Homo-oligomer: A and B are copies of this chain.
């Protein structure tokens, strides 16, 4: 039985990854799961300089999920290179670094710094965070803006790049095609859906930022639909995410067209989720006599 998947020339021991921002750099969850079991750790977004993020409250629970408006708080690339990369290097798993910025230059700055680090296998470019005022999502909701930043980054990146797309768009296929045309080696989708919660007794927003990114099982059907649509619009591989809680969820995304999947908010609900999914996929493959996990990609009956 072969659970390996290869994206843009990078081979992962299995298709199970962590969604950026929900797993830090693995340190906190290494107390619960063996990081060596994961296909990859996708780190929390890192910028060229430290970002303080948004005021609190930053998180709120919603039906079947949560809202967050962390605002991409991060210690900056210097600390990240000194602390997080060396930590992750101890493990036999691939490292994908999520890169964020407020301007094209910010992104390029980080991308070039990471270019010198062979331990980093791929770069996931966050152009879809709904919680930061400048940059970020501005690049992710207009096809031409996405095309431009993708091609700029592709020119300078030493590692294959993964553009992480926003679901807050009219047509995900248009965005997927723009990223592919600009040279993106893979796509991650979906990022969070912009949501809002109001406390009716205090008549206040549940989150200081007013809006927050919605994640969790509640958004899964929207994510599966977008992965299906995008996978039929582009040839580059897709990392699917959005409310994945079980191996069945992971397989659903693969059947829809994802080549790999990421576990996000559910890490908070069950810190063992990632490894349970790795085991659950193997169980499913045994049950149905599937030799290669890649046979599941896009295998839904049309």
Contacts and interface: CB of A to CB of B under 8 A. Distances in A.
Interface residues of A, number: 43
Q: Interface of chain A, helix or strand or loop or mixed?
A: mixed
A234 interface: no
Contacts of A284: 200
A204 interface: yes
Contacts of A255: 198, 200, 203
16 contacts: A62-B220, A141-B171, A169-B170, A196-B221, A196-B224, A196-B225, A198-B224, A198-B252, A198-B255, A200-B284, A202-B301, A203-B255, A204-B301, A211-B225, A214-B221, A214-B222
A205 interface: yes
Nearest to A63: B217
A63 B218 contact: yes
Contacts of A64: 63-64, 217-218
Interface in A164-189: 168-171
Contacts of A210: 228
Interface of A: 62-65, 67, 141, 168-171, 193-198, 200, 202-205, 210-211, 214, 217-222, 224-225, 228, 243, 248, 251-252, 255-256, 284, 299-301
A224 B197 contact: yes
A242 to B, nearest CB: 11
Nearest to A228: B196
A218 B197 CA distance: 12
A196 B251 contact: no
Contacts of A198: 224, 252, 255-256, 300
Contacts of A193: 222
A36 to B, nearest CB: 27
